[in-house]
């Protein structure tokens, strides 16, 4: 793990994460944003920022946690009428969670 933090904590304007934890201490952060087309680029930029941070901090750790990964993610973006709904789920080990909280704030 490297410590190339952006600055701590980093404020996200569109992504607001809900946190849950399993019995092994692995965490899952779920965020959903519903935006107008004009805001979609900004939301995608926040997603890219979060994923870039995770890749920099845990460069060799991306992958399913049950297969030894430190972190994993899923991104979905769906048009819904005049708006777009983007979801981002990130899961990570306790070590990932500690780094996450240092970078993005509390759970």
pLDDT tens digit sequence for 66-84: 999 999 999 999 999 999 9
- Is the pTM higher than 0.85? The answer reads yes
Share of the chain above pLDDT 70, in %: 89
Q: Would the pLDDT of 89 be above 90?
A: yes
Average of per-residue pLDDT across 43-52: 95
Long-range contacts of 67-76 (CB under 8 A, 24+ apart): 70/95, 70/96, 71/96, 75/47, 75/51
Q: Would the pLDDT of 101 be above 80?
A: yes
Q: Give the angle 107-16-74 at the CA atoms, nearest 5°.
A: 90
Q: Confirm if 96 and 58 have CB atoms less than 8 A apart.
A: yes
């Amino acid at each position: 793990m490297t410590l190339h933090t952006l600055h701590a904590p980093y404020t996200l304007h569109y992504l607001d994460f809900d946190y849950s934890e399993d019995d092994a201490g692995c965490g899952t952060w779920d965020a959903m944003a519903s935006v107008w087309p004009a805001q979609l680029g900004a939301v995608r930029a926040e997603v890219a920022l979060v994923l870039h941070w995770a890749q920099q901090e845990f460069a060799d750790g991306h992958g399913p946690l049950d297969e030894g990964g430190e972190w994993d993610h899923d991104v979905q973006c769906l048009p819904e009428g005049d708006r777009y709904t983007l979801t981002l789920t990130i899961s990570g080990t306790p070590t990932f969670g500690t780094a996450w909280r240092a970078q993005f704030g509390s759970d």
